[in-house]
Amino acid sequence: MLNSFDIDGVIFMDKYNGVYPGKDDIIITGRSKEERPETEAMLKSKGITNQVYYNSTPFDEKTRESSGRHKGQTLFYLEELGYRFGIHYEDDPVQAEVIKKMMPHINVVLLQHDLVEKENKRHEWNKSTDIETDAGSVQLSLF
């Protein structure tokens, strides 16, 4: 039995380490396919090489609900292929509710915190510092 993990708010918690998947677990993210380069760079920097399923909805058209539907549909598709899931780790209560309705037999563990935005955010990867930031945010250096 496998587990599935969201990225933002689960694996990626800004300046904190998140909850990482096991070797054979999968990642189902609400991030769109166009966000793949910065996402793969961030995961690689954390030593995470798990299979990632991206949202096919274009970035500008995504909503929290559509991201939840993408995750539920992906779980359904993977189960049709023979995969079995015990837990899906999620931080967004809107998406968690959608997933629960679509796949009620999968336990959805909701990680509740305010460490990352729940809304659609662009991310940038700083290759020189191995730090992912929200696009438009400013990192301050005190010294």
- How many Cβ atoms from other residues are within 10 Å of residue 90's Cβ? 27
- Domain presence at residue 82: yes
- Domain presence at residue 108: yes
- Domain presence at residue 121: yes
- Domain presence at residue 125: yes
CATH assignment of the domain containing 23? 3.40.50
- Domain presence at residue 22: yes
Q: How far apart are alpha carbons 52 and 80 in whole angstroms?
A: 18
Q: Where are the beta strands (DSSP E) in 58-103?
A: 85-90
- Domain presence at residue 140: no
Domain tally for the chain?
Answer: 1
Specify the pTM: 0.84
Residue 67: domain span: 2-134
pLDDT at 15: 85
- Domain presence at residue 142: no
pLDDT at 51: 98
pLDDT at 124: 62
- Domain presence at residue 139: no
pLDDT truncated to tens, each residue of the chain (143 aa)? 999 999 999 999 988 889 999 999 999 999 999 999 999 999 999 999 999 999 999 999 999 999 999 999 999 999 999 999 999 999 999 999 999 999 999 999 999 988 887 765 665 656 555 555 554 433 333 33
